[in-house]
């Protein structure tokens, strides 16, 4: 038993053989100018097209063979010297063929010559042909026959400027077809194509009801398979039908007026009435693609009016989206077309149509509706970038749709919502604009937690990318409402699913964002800071370390702003005193105790202390601020004493404390450091607290020396401990470091530091190094070498410094 | 020839949102350099909780020995003579430090002490007017050219400092 495909191949081969066989005899007849025989064999050849066994694809193959043969026949008909029969007679003669299908193919072939001969008005011949073709009602056979008619008549339509237009007077009285008195017009051409289109569409639609699956043994396939096959067969034929619309669009005489009054209404009538989803979708798309943009714009109402009338299963959203895409591109093509959009109120028409389609198609999934809104938004952003109310309106419509859905779970729909929210950001490159859209946060509320965060990140990234500054407290408030998914835990969020890396990235973004919230006016800036504080303080211990430091530095900057303007600010603005800001700072930093994060808090307190010091230098009420600075220091010390346990952290902390103190010229924690070497370094660093190289800086040489001597004692102790513990020398490099400090203060002119002390230290180091030559330390070696080289360098330089080093022997 | 890019004191996100756009576009061009040379060296800043970065680091590039240190450990902060001690301690030709958010470059006893400043122009309690800046060093044989990029009132200014090393500077015997 043969399967379906093999059967079909067999039938096709038989058909081709039949065509070839008859074509052979037809050629012989043509060569011998035998019209009678030519008609006989061509009719027999064309009879092969009467088969019902082939699928559209195979039928097309057969049709093309016959089509090529008909071209030769046409040449023969055209040349009346070969057969001595007038075209009028020929037109009669071919109608004697026995079967209807061959007869109509032959009639069309002669008809085209008839029109060309101009012995009858084109419109009469065309009308006759298109009517006669009604005789074939089998879908596939009819479609191909009419396709043949469309093909041979294409270049013979009475279009404006064509040779077939309006030449009524030339016909003589004995023509076969009775002519009306009217001249041929483009209207006749349009009528003809529209009629052929309508008939073809009917055949095509009917195919789904009539067409037996071309495969005989359909029992092998389920009913679904049969239907699928049929749809596939049909879609293979769609371009035959669509070709007519293409022809219409090519007719010169179809101007906007005719398109509006005749073409579009009749095409749409057919589209709507056929009630076939495949045809409706294909033809709507075809209309949109083949006719010019400005026609669409001028007939928007009618075109859109058809959309809600389509079958509920038609993918109307894709049709509408494509229309909007086309119009968006048209709008982008030049500013001169934009007034046209305004004049026809394109936006409100599209907006209405979308609303109606969504309403009519109850089963349309959320993703479909939102996709439509994305297209509409894209459209309005292109056409009316200045109309923010349009943007908000689209977002509002989307909110309405979303609020009817209990929970948006479709990830594709979610993606579309993100696209919807991203579009205005991309268009305006400015979040500030989006912040004025009242529906924007309402759309965001419909996102799931993950997507909400994602969108919040998109917003922050947009701000970063465009370097947009958010400068009013109101907008900051709206912004934090938008990104609240990042700012605090949202109910229902699965905390366990948090990815550590993602979380860090998110919080870093928020911290960076805080620096983009800025206003030159201290009053407004303070409001901004208070709003940020209000929102970030509820972020919980995991978020605080990220946000607090940004907020602190933001407030410290405000302090400087205030300071810059201090002259202008009079006492009446009591809300804005530095003290008030320091209070705020204290509260902000204190929130870190919940984390806890003493190391960060310590650093921030020190920053505040130093800022207070600066203010103190300038402000009239220096005493108050000194008190504040002292308070911040106290806080830092308390943290150091009670909270910081890690030895490494202690080292850094003590460096920062000493470094800050050194700069402050105002106020011995080093002794409690765990390691001797660390103690030693901290102590010699303290020496700088007593020697500040400013004009009016403190210069207490004696206490410097005390510090250095103490450092030496600790270094000695470290050395002894190392001896006991490891039986070898300890870190010589500590001595070298101290030597360098001696040199430093020696050069600065501290009288307490003498050249002999330096000499002694060098000798001590040399002894230490020699005693421990087995265990040489290359780092220390290089250090002492470069230090000695430096002394040598200074000696050679001469002058005051050179003299000082004169007595030091190397 | 080796190019060394020195970026410091970014303080993102604590004190600054991002690099200035002008720097960013310049550095994006240099992203391609990064693909040629992924050799990145980082030392620990005072706000870095991550302890994996060392306090100091030395590396040799061509005939130069470079030392890196954030600088909060060197008191008084930004003090040249104190930094010189660190330079001697690390035994380096070029010492790169930061912390003060102020660009400086000194030739000092046969070496160079460079502070590239803050690439983001971050807040500093030490300086009020922080101009964003960074440094690009072109090391070629015994010569190093230090290019300073500084953003002043929205304009990028480039300065150039030339330094030549005498061959025996660091490797002379005791």
Q: What is the pLDDT of residues A250-287, one digit of tens each?
A: 998 899 999 999 999 999 999 999 999 899 999 999 99
**Which of A518, A548, A553, A736 is the best substitution to test chain B (most B C-beta atoms within 10 A)?**
A553
Using a CB–CB cutoff of 8 Å, tell me whether A692 touches chain B: yes
Contact B91 A779 (CB under 8 A): yes
Q: Which band of pLDDT confidence, cut at 50, 70 and 90, is reported for residue A646?
A: confident
Specify the pLDDT at position B113.
Answer: 92
d(CA A608, CA A373): 51
Sequence-ordered alpha helix ranges (H) in A53-138: 56-78, 87-93, 100-117, 122-132
The answer to the question of residue A786 being in a domain is yes
Length of chain B: 174
CB within 8 Å: A790 and B109: yes
Q: Is B75 on the interface with A (CB under 8 A)?
A: yes
* Residue A793 sits at the chain B interface (C-beta within 8 Å): yes
C-beta atoms of A508 and B170 within 8 A:
no
Does any CB of chain A come closer than 8 Å to the CB of residue B170?
yes
Lowest-pLDDT choice from A144-153, A450-459, A766-775: A766-775
Which residues of chain B have a CB within 8 Å of the CB of A770? none
Which residues in chain B are closer than 8 Å to A784, comparing Cβ atoms? 174
Distance CA B56, CA B38 (A): 20
In the sheet that holds B56-61, the strands lie side by side as: B56-61, B64-69, B94-96, B111-115, B104-108
User: What single DSSP character describes residue B135?
Assistant: E
Q: Does A787 touch chain B if contact means CB atoms closer than 8 Å? A: yes
Average per-residue pLDDT in chain A? Answer: 84
A780-795 tens-digit pLDDT: 888 888 888 888 888 8
- Reported as type and span, the H/E element at residue A544 is helix A544-564
**Where is pLDDT greater, at A172 or A770?**
A770
**Shortest Cα distance, chain B CAs vs residue A391, angstroms:** 30
Residue showing tokens 């063979």 = A65
Q: For residue B154, which residues of chain A lie inside 8 Å, CB to CB?
A: none
Instruction: Select the residue of A516, A685, A740 nearest B88 (Cβ to Cβ).
Output: A740
* Mean pLDDT, residues A517-536 taken together: 92
Instruction: Check residues A518 and A564 and name the one with the higher pLDDT.
Output: A518
Mean pLDDT of B79-87: 87
Give the residue-averaged pLDDT of A639-658: 82
Residue of B88, B113, B172 to mutate, interface with A, max A Cβ within 10 Å: B88
User: Per the omega criterion (within 30 degrees of 0), is the bond before B76 cis?
Assistant: yes
Query: What confidence score (pLDDT) does residue A264 get?
Result: 96
Per-residue pLDDT at B172: 38
Options 2.60.40.10, 3.60.21.10, 3.40.50.300, 3.90.1150.10; CATH of B2-47+55-164: 3.60.21.10
pLDDT reading at A168 higher than 70: no
Interface of A with B in 579-638 (CB under 8 A): 599-600, 603, 607, 610-611, 614
Predicted local distance difference test score (pLDDT) of residue A623 = 55
**Cβ <8 Å between B123 and A786:** no
Q: Are B116 and B103 in contact (CB under 8 A)?
A: yes
Name the residue with higher pLDDT: A377 or A678. Answer: A377
Instruction: Give the residue from B10, B13, B47, B52 with the most A CB atoms within 10 Å of its CB, the best one to mutate.
Output: B13
Q: Determine the residue of chain A that is closest to B24 in CA distance.
A: A465
Cβ–Cβ gap A515/B15 under 8 Å: yes
Q: Residue B144: phi, psi to the nearest 5? A: -130, 130
> Which of helix, strand or coil describes residue B57?
strand
pLDDT of residue A169: 46
DSSP, residue by residue, A649-688: HHHHHHHHHHHHHHHH-----GGG-SSHHHHHHHHHHHGG
Measured in angstroms, the CA of A688 and the nearest CA of chain B are apart by 7
Residue A581: name the closest of A510, A527, A519 by CA: A527
Q: How confident is the model at residue A659 (pLDDT cuts 50, 70, 90)?
A: confident
Task: Give me the pLDDT at residue A772, please.
Answer: 64
The Cα A110–Cα A612 span in angstroms is 104
- Residue spans per domain, chain B: 2-47+55-164
Establish, for the pair of chains A and B, how many residue pairs have beta carbons separated by less than 8 Å: 110
Provide the domain count of chain A: 1
Determine the pLDDT at residue A571. 46
Distance (Å) from the alpha carbon of B88 to chain A's nearest alpha carbon: 6
Q: Does A786 contact chain B (CB < 8 Å)?
A: yes
A410-444: pLDDT as tens digits:
888 888 999 999 998 888 877 888 888 899 989 98
Rounded distance between C-alpha atoms, residue A744 and residue A347, angstroms: 78
Minimum Cα–Cα distance from A664: chain B residue: B126
Q: Hey, which residues 515-544 in chain A have their CB within 8 Å of chain B?
A: 515-516
Mean pLDDT to the nearest integer, A495-514 = 84
Strands, sheet with B2-6, edge to edge from the N-terminal-most edge strand: B2-6, B133-140, B143-152, B155-164
Query: B79 — contact with chain A (CB < 8 Å)?
Result: yes
Mean pLDDT of B91-105: 90
Cα distance from B165 to chain A (closest Cα, Å)? 15
Average pLDDT over residues A756-763: 87
Q: What ipTM does the predicted assembly reach?
A: 0.80
Query: Domain of A800?
Result: 715-810
- pLDDT digit string, tens, across residues A179-231: 444 567 889 999 999 999 999 999 999 887 764 544 444 444 455 667 777 78
Cβ distance of B89 and A740 shorter than 8 Å? yes
B76 inside 8 A of chain A by CB: yes
pLDDT at A330 over 50: yes
Nearest to A154, CA basis, from A183, A188, A200, A193: A193
Kindly report the nearest CA distance between residue B27 and chain A, in angstroms: 15
Predicted local confidence at residue B170, as pLDDT: 47
Are residues B76 and A692, on separate chains, in Cβ contact within 8 Å? Answer: yes
Angle between helices A223-250 and A277-290 (to 10 degrees): 30
Q: Is-contact A193 A136, C-beta < 8 A?
A: no
Please report which confidence band the pLDDT of residue A11 belongs to, taking 50, 70 and 90 as the band edges. Answer: very high
Nearest to B77 among A514, A614, A659 (CB): A659
List CB contacts (< 8 A) between A786 and chain B.
88, 91, 170
Ranking A211-215, A451-455, A493-497 by mean pLDDT, the lowest is: A211-215
Residue in chain B lying closest to A810 (CA): B174
pLDDT tens sequence across A86-137: 899 999 999 888 899 999 999 999 999 999 888 888 889 999 999 999 999 9
Do B76 and A785 count as a contact with CB atoms less than 8 A apart?
A: no
pLDDT tens digits along A242-252 = 999 999 999 98
Q: How far apart are CA A773 and CA A521, in angstroms?
A: 67
Q: Which residue has the tokens 């991203």?
A: A422
Give the least confident one: A177-186, A524-533, A548-557, B137-146: A177-186
Contact B98, B118 (CB under 8 A): yes
| Average pLDDT, integer, range B42-52 | 77
Residue A785 and residue B174: Cβ atoms within 8 Å? yes
| Residue A426 included in any domain | no
B89–A556 CB contact, under 8 Å: no
In a domain, A735, yes or no: yes
Lowest mean pLDDT among A477-481, A508-512, A671-675: A671-675
pLDDT of amino acid B31: 61
Contact B13 A511 (CB under 8 A): yes
């Amino acid at each position: 038993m043969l399967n379906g495909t093999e059967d079909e191949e067999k039938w096709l081969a038989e058909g081709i053989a039949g065509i070839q066989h008859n074509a052979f005899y037809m050629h012989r007849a043509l060569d011998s100018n035998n019209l009678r025989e030519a008609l006989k064999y061509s009719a027999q050849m064309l009879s092969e097209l009467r088969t019902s066994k082939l699928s559209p694809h195979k039928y097309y193959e057969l049709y093309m063979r016959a089509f090529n043969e008909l071209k030769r026949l046409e040449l023969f008909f055209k040349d009346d010297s070969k057969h001595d029969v007038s075209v009028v007679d020929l037109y009669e003669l071919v109608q004697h063929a026995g079967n209807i299908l061959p007869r109509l193919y032959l009639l069309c072939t002669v008809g085209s010559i008839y029109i060309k001969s101009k012995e009858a008005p084109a419109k009469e011949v065309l009308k006759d042909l298109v009517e006669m073709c009604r005789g074939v009602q089998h879908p596939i056979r009819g479609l191909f026959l009419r396709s043949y008619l469309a093909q041979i008549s294409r270049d013979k339509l009475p279009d404006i400027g064509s040779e077939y237009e309006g030449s009524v007077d030339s016909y003589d009285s004995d023509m076969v077809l009775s002519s009306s008195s009217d001249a041929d017009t483009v209207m006749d051409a349009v009528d003809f194509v529209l009629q052929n289109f309508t008939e073809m569409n009917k055949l095509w639609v009917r195919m789904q009801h009539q067409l037996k699956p071309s495969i005989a043994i359909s029992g092998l396939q389920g009913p679904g398979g049969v239907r699928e096959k049929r749809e596939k067969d049909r879609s293979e034929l769609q371009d035959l039908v669509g070709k007519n619309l293409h022809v219409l669009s090519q007719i010169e005489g179809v101007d906007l007026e005719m398109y509006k009054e005749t073409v579009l209404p009749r095409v749409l009538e057919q589209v709507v009435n056929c009630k076939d989803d495949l045809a409706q979708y294909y033809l709507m798309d075809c209309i949109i693609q083949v006719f010019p943009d400005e026609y669409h714009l001028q007939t928007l109402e009618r075109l859109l009016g058809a959309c809600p009338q389509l079958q509920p299963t038609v993918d109307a959203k894709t049709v509408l989206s494509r229309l909007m895409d086309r119009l968006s591109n048209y709008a982008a093509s030049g500013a001169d077309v934009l007034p046209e959009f305004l004049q026809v109120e394109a936006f409100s028409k599209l907006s209405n149509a979308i609303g109606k389609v969504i309403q009519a198609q109850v089963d349309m999934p959320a993703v479909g509706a939102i996709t439509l809104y994305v297209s509409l938004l894209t459209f309005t952003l292109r056409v009316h970038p200045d109309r923010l109310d349009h943007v908000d309106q689209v977002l509002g419509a989307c909110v309405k749709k979303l609020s009817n859905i209990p929970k948006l779970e479709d990830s594709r729909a979610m993606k579309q919502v993100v696209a919807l929210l991203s579009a205005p950001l991309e268009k305006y490159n400015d979040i500030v604009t989006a912040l004025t859209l009242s529906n924007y946060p309402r759309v965001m509320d419909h996102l799931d937690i993950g997507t909400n965060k994602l969108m919040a990140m998109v917003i922050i990234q947009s701000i970063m990318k465009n370097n947009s500054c958010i400068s009013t407290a109101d907008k900051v408030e709206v912004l934090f409402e938008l990104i609240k998914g990042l700012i605090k835990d949202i109910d229902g969020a699965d905390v366990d699913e948090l990815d550590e890396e993602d979380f860090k990235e998110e919080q870093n973004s928020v911290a960076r964002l805080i620096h983009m919230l800025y206003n030159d006016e201290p009053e407004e800036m303070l409001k901004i800071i208070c709003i940020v504080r209000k929102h970030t303080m509820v972020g919980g211990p995991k978020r605080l370390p990220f946000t607090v430091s940004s907020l602190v530095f933001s407030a410290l900057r405000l302090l400087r702003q205030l300071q810059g303007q201090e002259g202008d600010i009079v006492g009446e603005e009591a809300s804005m005193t530095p003290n008030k800001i320091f209070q705020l700072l204290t509260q902000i930093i204190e929130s870190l105790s919940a984390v806890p994060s003493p190391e960060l808090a310590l650093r921030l307190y020190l920053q505040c202390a130093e800022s207070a010091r600066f203010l103190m230098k300038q402000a009239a009420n220096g005493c108050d601020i000194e008190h504040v600075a002292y308070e911040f220091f106290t806080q830092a010390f308390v943290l150091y004493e009670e909270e910081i346990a890690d030895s490494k952290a202690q080292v850094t902390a003590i460096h920062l404390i000493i470094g800050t103190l050194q700069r402050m010229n105002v106020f011995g924690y080093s002794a409690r450091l765990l390691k001797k070497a660390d103690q030693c370094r901290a102590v010699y660093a303290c020496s700088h607290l007593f020697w500040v190289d400013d004009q009016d800086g403190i210069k207490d040489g004696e206490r410097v020396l005390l510090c250095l001597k103490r450092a030496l004692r600790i270094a000695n102790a470290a050395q002894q401990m190392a001896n006991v513990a490891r039986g070898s020398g300890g870190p010589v490099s500590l001595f070298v470091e101290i030597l360098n400090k001696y040199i430093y203060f020696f050069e600065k002119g501290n009288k307490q530091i003498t050249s002999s002390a330096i000499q002694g230290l060098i000798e001590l180091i040399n002894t230490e190094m020699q005693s421990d030559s087995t265990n040489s330390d290359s780092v220390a070696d290089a250090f002492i070498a470069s230090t000695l080289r430096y002394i040598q360098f200074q000696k050679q330089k001469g002058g005051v410094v050179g003299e000082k080093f004169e007595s030091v022997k190397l | 020839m080796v190019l060394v890019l020195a970026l410091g004191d970014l303080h993102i996100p604590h004190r600054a949102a991002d690099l200035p756009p002008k720097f960013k576009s310049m550095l994006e061009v240099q992203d391609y350099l990064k693909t040629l040379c992924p050799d990145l060296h980082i030392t620990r800043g005072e706000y870095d909780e991550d302890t994996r970065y060392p306090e100091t680091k030395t590396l040799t590039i061509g005939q130069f020995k470079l030392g890196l240190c954030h600088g909060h450990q060197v008191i008084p902060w930004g003090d040249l003579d104190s930094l010189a001690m660190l330079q001697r301690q690390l035994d380096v030709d070029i010492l790169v430090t930061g912390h003060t958010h102020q660009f400086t470059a000194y030739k000092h006893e046969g070496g160079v002490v460079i502070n590239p400043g803050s690439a983001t122009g971050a807040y500093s309690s030490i300086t009020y007017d922080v101009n964003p800046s960074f440094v690009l060093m072109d090391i070629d044989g015994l010569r190093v050219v230090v290019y300073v990029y500084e953003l002043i009132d929205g304009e990028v200014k480039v300065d150039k400092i030339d330094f030549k090393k005498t061959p025996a500077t660091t490797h002379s015997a005791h």
